[in-house]
Amino acid sequence: MMIWLSMQRDFCLAIRQASDTLMPAVFFLLLVTILSIGTGFSMHENSISSIGAVWVVALFATVLGMDSMFRRDHDDGTLDQFLLHAEPLALCVLARVAAFWSISVLPVVALSPIAAWMMGLQSGLVQSLLVSLLLGTPVLALLGAIGSALVLEVHRSAALLALLVLPLFVPVTVLGVSVAASSVVGQPTAPLILWMIVLLLGTMTLSPFATAAALRASTEY
């Protein structure tokens, strides 16, 4: 019950603080616009480079809000309630990550077709890009939750968090770009999509427990 109440609170706060909620999506759209204008037609002529650019910008937009994933819960005492509650902390973590992804990352994914159009991608490649982002960005959020929990007690931890999680994001980004790039060269995308599904399920299984352990360690010391 407490998990659902916490998720409802997150969505209500997201509506009230619309400027903060929309910041990753605005950042994503602005950076894609700058890349599209700054590179002229050079990116348009290379679809794989355009796909990689959209993925990297989406990655940085996801990182933008990770520092506050558990900080608000820590500051207002909600995290202490999670630690004392009878429900497993890992489930609470999974619910918190799901709320973060829905509020901060899903708008970025929704804007990816517009970003693909701005980068000159063909309409047939947009579907592969969208599928790769839908499968890959939850993995980024789950991995980022571990880093966010580790730096919970560190003030001004955004730079440290980025240093911790960005190396973990590299395999996910490479696999996500490969899914969309396979469409460019005419190769089947199904095997890579299956690998992304396996990666998502594995991360969804292990990350909440690692994040829960990191939260307990951060609050104890």
pTM of the model: 0.86
Q: What is the mean pLDDT of the chain?
A: 81
pLDDT at 221 over 60: no
Are the beta carbons of 207 and 149 closer than 8 angstroms?
no
> Which pLDDT score is estimated for 50?
81
Under DSSP, the state recorded for 17 is: T
Q: Are 179 and 134 in contact (CB under 8 A)?
A: no
Amino acid of residue 211: T
Burial class (CB in 10 A: 0-12, 13-18, 19+), 136: buried
Report the C-alpha gap between 52 and 140 in whole angstroms: 16
Side-chain half-sphere exposure of 3, counting CA atoms within 13 A: 14
Cβ neighbours of residue 73 closer than 8 Å, sequence gap 6 or more? 6, 79, 82, 96
Position 202 pLDDT exceeds 80: yes
Say what the pLDDT of residue 220 is. 66
Query: What's the mean pLDDT in 8-16?
Result: 67
Degrees, nearest 5: CA angle 178-166-204: 70
> What tens digit of pLDDT does each residue of 161-185 get?
888 888 899 999 999 888 888 877 7
Place of tokens 């990182």: 63
How far from the centroid of its chain's Cα atoms is residue 61's Cα? Answer: 8
Q: Give 207-219 pLDDT, tens digit per residue.
A: 999 998 888 887 7
In this model, does residue 44 exceed pLDDT 50? no
What does the alpha-carbon distance between residue 177 and residue 158 come to, in Å, rounded to a whole number?
25
Which pLDDT value is given to residue 41? 46
Q: What is the pLDDT of residues 134-159, one digit of tens each?
A: 999 999 999 999 988 888 777 766 77
The token pair that represents 177 in the structure block: 């770009």
Q: Residue 80: pLDDT above 80?
A: no
Check residue 96 and give its pLDDT: 86
d(CA 190, CA 204): 21
CB burial class (10 A; 0-12, 13-18, 19+) of residue 162?
middle
pLDDT at 43: 47
Q: What pLDDT shows up at residue 91?
A: 84
Model confidence at 196, pLDDT cuts 50, 70, 90, reads very high
pLDDT in tens, 84-135: 775 688 888 888 888 889 888 999 999 988 888 888 777 777 888 899 999 9
Dihedrals phi, psi of 77, to nearest 5 degrees: 90, -5
Look at residues 38, 36, 31 and name the one whose alpha carbon lies nearest to residue 56.
31
Give residue 121's pLDDT.
Answer: 78
Q: At what angle do helices 106-118 and 123-150 cross, to 10 degrees?
A: 140
Query: What is the number of alpha carbons within 13 Å of residue 168 lying toward its C-beta?
Result: 20
